[in-house]
Amino acid sequence: MKTRIICLGLAAMLVCMPASMAGTIYKWKDANGRVYIGDQPPDLSRAQQISVRVNTYKGGSAEGQEKAPDSAGKKVVIYTTRRCGYCKKAKAWFSRKGIAYKEYDVENSNKGRRDYKKLGGRGVPIILVGEQRLNGFSEGRLGAALRKAGYTL
């Protein structure tokens, strides 16, 4: 357990580093299948070089943190439930693409429940990109909606 905590701590530290300080980062597995990330793998032939994307944020209010840095006032909102597989896929896709969003759980959030009813929701996820609405998750449709709203992917 300590090994995983150390590895996760190292990964978090590397992600927080400025790109100029990060250097070359590697990912490898030990004989037990545990994944490690670091700058000095024990065996270069078994290690995979990875690139670390450093996300930056120029200060502002907490409200501004809901918006993607390039969104220029546009907002992405997703209405979800905990057990929804498509909701999880959509949130993972947002993370991979670096798109900031605001999430409301329609089962556990009063605001989420109210908004879901106002939207006439019949399923999740419901994704709002500015004034555009998407029912369900499709990488292609979501990408098109984000590009239309001015996001760069």
Burial (Cβ within 10 Å: 0-12, 13-18, ≥19) of residue 93: middle
The model's confidence at residue 87, banded by pLDDT at 50, 70 and 90, is very high
- In CATH terms, 62-148 corresponds, of 3.40.50.300, 3.40.830.10, 3.40.30.10, 3.30.465.10, to 3.40.30.10
Weakest-pLDDT range from 7-16, 57-66, 83-92, 136-145: 57-66
How confident is the model over 135-147, as a mean pLDDT? 94
Contact by Cβ (8 Å): 93, 108: no
Show the CA angle centred on residue 16, arms to residues 96 and 147, nearest 5°. Answer: 30
Weakest-pLDDT range from 64-73, 79-88, 102-111: 64-73
Q: What is the DSSP string of 14-28?
A: HHHS-HHHH--EEEE
Contact by Cβ (8 Å): 66, 112: no
Torsion sign (Cα): 74, 67, 96, 50: positive
Whether residue 58 has pLDDT greater than 90 = no
74/127 Cα distance (integer angstroms): 13
Whether residue 70 has pLDDT greater than 60 = no
* 144 or 70, greater pLDDT: 144
* 41 or 141, greater pLDDT: 141
CATH code 3.40.30.10 region(s) in the chain: 62-148
How confident is the model over 5-24, as a mean pLDDT? 49
Q: Parallel, antiparallel, or unpaired: how do β-strands 102-105 and 76-80 relate?
A: parallel
Which pLDDT score, from 0 to 100, does residue 132 have?
93
pLDDT digits (tens, 9 = 90+) for 113-123: 999 999 999 99
65-90 core/surface letters (b: 16 or more CB in 10 A; e: else): eebbeebeebbbbbbbeeebeebeeb
How confident is the model over 59-70, as a mean pLDDT? 40
- Which ranges constitute the DSSP H helices of the chain? 2-16, 19-22, 85-97, 110-118, 139-148
How confident is the model over 119-135, as a mean pLDDT? 94
150/143 Cα distance (integer angstroms): 11
